[in-house]
Amino acid sequence: MLDLDLNIAQMQNLKLNTKLMQSMHMLQMSSTELLDYLEEQSVQNPLMEFAYRPDLPQLKRKTVSKSYDVSAYDDLLLNIVSKQDESLEMTLLSQLRQSDIPQKYASIVEFIAGSLNDDGYLTISVEEMSAYLGQPLKEIETALSYVQAMEPAGIGARSLRECLLIQINRDSNANEWAARITSEYLQEIAAGKYKTVADQVGITLEHVKKTIHYMKTLNPRPGLVYNTFTAPRIEPDAVIHKNGDQYTVLINEACYPQVYMNDYYKQLKKQSGCKQTKMFLGQYAPSIQWLIRSLEQRKATISRVVLAIMEEQRLFLEKGPMYVKPLILKVISEQLNLDISTVSRAVKNKYVQTPRGVYPLKYFFSSKVESSSQEPVSAHSIKAQIMQLVKEEDKHNPLSDQQITDKLVQQGLQISRRTVMKYREALHIASSRLRSSYVN
């Protein structure tokens, strides 16, 4: 009898754990993935119905203005690539599932896969990821190396130079001078200074031209093959409204179709005395109830997380991107008394409509840069300032990385020229020499 009781308890725990995993899985889905999941559940559950909400007014969509994009090497290296239906993130996650990557790196690899832009470049630094995920920098770098070993070659790079070098190093038939020229003389090649490169490398001009011919076979935008020309419409998961001096969070109900039990089966459940019918209904009805509860829990969790983030980023709401403050997941998890993994799931693939546009929630998390003021400054704020400085510079005499660094230091920031260069490249802003060549 005791064994039977234990088996029943184990089965109940197994069912509960399965349901909890389902709830956690639903929390981390994007709104599009959630709709697909609900459609799948309705096919599997004959009692379940769900309907879209055409009665709800469409939200006004605002988009975040694109970065100051003056890509340095498009004319030199851009190839025409074919398009595929599967997304880049799905492709990388599929490779992850089929790989022998250690489990402790898997979640970081998933995060990196979701942090690549349409070109396949990593949009945040490893330092920012380390702060955001609360993981050691060494583990972040190891996980990134796993991503960079995936297909297509060049994925996960942080700059054009790194993207090309990844492809060159994986090509057993690579041109013998390609790695060195890409590593040390990419700007000279883009500026057409082939003779200078030949003299400094110690090879003939013909060798340089052959190297350039090889470099043109590489793909500077490896992620484009997985993206369509038409960008999907982004439906924000939550909307921030300002009422006087207070901000409130409204969940976008357009992302949540109504889930309910089929009317026929609902009446049958009330009226039928048939044992077989009751067994049939008992098999499927609880799943619908749990699904409805999971959806409500998802809404509540996202609402709490968004509100906590916006309270932390109030200056952003009032003044704009330059005032995004440093923030890590741990701060929000401690405020809300939630596990850090729960906060991470609530943030993943979610968007919020603010008075300043639609932003991914992960945008509001970044590492800090020390300043002479009492408050540290976020990496996002530094990038916004760099963009503004470049936007306002003399186009005939653009600012060098050192000049940008000096201006930021004058504002009280403790930042190096190397960090400025890294942020500039992450924003796809060309060097001062190339920016000058566009005008002169």
Q: Residue holding tokens 């990496």?
A: 379
- Of 61-75, 186-200, 257-271, 308-322, the one with minimum mean pLDDT is 61-75
> What value does the mean pLDDT take over residues 258-284?
73
Q: Taking the C-alpha atoms of 22, 16, 238 and 35 in order, what is their torsion angle to the nearest 10 degrees?
A: 30
pLDDT of residue 117: 84
Six token digits for residue 51: 């309907």
pTM of the model: 0.56
Task: Tell me, yes or no, if the two domains 88-226 and 369-438 fold the same way.
Answer: yes
pLDDT of residue 19: 67
Residue 73 has pLDDT above 50, yes or no: no
**273 — pLDDT class (breaks 50, 70, 90):** low
pLDDT of residue 138: 93
Beta strands of 262-388 (E only): which ranges?
A: 351-354, 357-360, 368-369, 377-378
**172 — pLDDT class (breaks 50, 70, 90):** confident
Residue 245: C-alpha distances to residues 96, 248, 318, 323, 370 (Å): 46, 10, 10, 18, 30
Residue 163 has pLDDT above 90, yes or no: yes
> What value does the mean pLDDT take over residues 13-35?
75
Residue 181 has pLDDT above 80, yes or no: yes
Residue 165 has pLDDT above 90, yes or no: yes
pLDDT tens sequence across 91-128: 888 888 888 888 888 888 988 888 888 889 998 888 88
Question: How far apart are the C-alpha atoms of 304 and 346, rounded to whole Å?
Answer: 10
pLDDT of residue 21: 76
Assign a CATH topology to domain 369-438: Arc Repressor Mutant, subunit A (1.10.10)
Pinpoint the alpha helices (H) of 30-118. 31-44, 74-77, 88-97, 103-113
**391 — pLDDT class (breaks 50, 70, 90):** confident
Going by the DSSP 8-state scheme, the letter that residue 363 receives in this structure is: G
Six token digits for residue 260: 């309910």
Question: How far apart are the C-alpha atoms of 133 and 140, rounded to whole Å?
Answer: 9
Nearest to 171 by CA among 219, 203, 206: 219
> What value does the mean pLDDT take over residues 54-68?
37
**9 — pLDDT class (breaks 50, 70, 90):** very low
Map out the domains of the chain as residue ranges: 88-226, 238-366, 369-438
> What value does the mean pLDDT take over residues 358-381?
75
pLDDT of residue 86: 63
Considering the domain 88-226 in this protein, what is its CATH number? 1.10.10.1330
Q: 368 - beta bridge partners? A: 378
pLDDT of residue 41: 86
pLDDT of residue 373: 58
